Chain A
Amino acid sequence: MISAQGLFIAFFGLAAVCFGVAVFRTSSMVRSALALLFSQTAIGAMFLSMQAEFLGVLQIMMMATEMSIMAIFMVMFMMDPGGLGKMEMTHQKGLSLISGSIAFMAAVAVAVFVDWGPGGASPPDAARQTRELGIELLGRSMLIFETAGITILTAMIAATAVAIQPLKRSGDR
Chain B
Amino acid sequence: MTTLLVLLSLTVGVYLVAVLEAWTTNGHFRIAAPLCSALALLGRESIVPRKADRIFFEAAPILLLTSALLGAAVIPLAPALIVTDLATGALFLNAALAYVLVALLMAGWGPDGAYAMVGGWRFLGQVIAYAMLIVMPIMAVAMRAESLLTTEIVASQAGLWNILYQPLGFVLFFAAAMALAFVPPFDLPTAQGELAGGVEGEYTGVRLAVFRLGRMVLILTLAAATVTFYLGGWQGPLLPPWAWSAIKTLAVAATMLLAGRMMPRIREAHLLAWGWKLGIPLALLNIFLVGVLVLVLP
Binding site for B on A (CB under 8 A): 28, 30-31, 34, 37, 53-54, 57-58, 60-61, 64-65, 68-69, 71-72, 82, 84, 125-127, 129-130
Contact = CB atoms under 8 A, between A and B. Distances in A.
B283 to A, nearest CB: 17
Interface of B: 51, 53, 55-56, 86-88, 91-92, 94-95, 98-99, 101-102, 105-106, 109, 112, 121, 124, 127-128, 131, 147-149
A61 to B, nearest CB: 4
B147 A127 contact: yes
Instruction: Point out which of B86, B88, B92 has the most chain A C-beta atoms below 10 A from its C-beta.
Output: B88
20 contacts: A30-B53, A31-B53, A37-B102, A54-B87, A57-B86, A57-B91, A57-B95, A58-B95, A61-B91, A64-B99, A64-B102, A65-B127, A68-B101, A68-B102, A68-B105, A68-B127, A69-B124, A71-B105, A72-B121, A130-B88
A28 B57 CA distance: 14
Contacts of B131: 65
A172 B87 CA distance: 60
Nearest to A71: B105
Given A30-B109, A31-B56, A57-B95, A68 B87 contact: no
Nearest to B90: A57
A127 B95 contact: no
Given A30-B53, A130-B87, 13 more contacts: A28-B53, A30-B105, A34-B105, A54-B88, A57-B91, A61-B94, A68-B105, A69-B128, A72-B121, A72-B124, A126-B86, A127-B87, A127-B149
A52 to B, nearest CB: 11
Contacts of B127: 65, 68
A53 B89 CA distance: 10
A58 B94 CA distance: 9
Given A30-B109, A126-B86, A127-B87, A65 B101 contact: yes
Instruction: Point out which of A60, A64, A72 has the most chain B C-beta atoms below 10 A from its C-beta.
Output: A64
A82 to B, nearest CB: 8
A101 to B, nearest CB: 29
A64 B135 CA distance: 15
Chain B at the A interface: SS class? helix
A126 B131 CA distance: 25
Contacts of A69: 124, 128
A68 B124 contact: yes
A58 B90 CA distance: 11
A33 B26 CA distance: 40
Contacts of A37: 102
List the 7 closest A-B pairs by CB distance, nearest first. Answer: A126-B87, A61-B95, A64-B98, A127-B87, A60-B95, A57-B88, A30-B109
A58 B91 contact: yes
Contacts of B98: 60-61, 64-65
A37 B106 CA distance: 12
Nearest to B91: A57
Contacts of B149: 127
Given A65-B127, A127-B149, A130-B148, A34 B102 contact: yes
A125 B87 contact: yes
Contacts of A28: 53
A130 B131 CA distance: 22
Contact of B86 (A30, A31, A53, A61): A53
A37 B109 CA distance: 16
A28 B51 CA distance: 13
Nearest to B102: A64
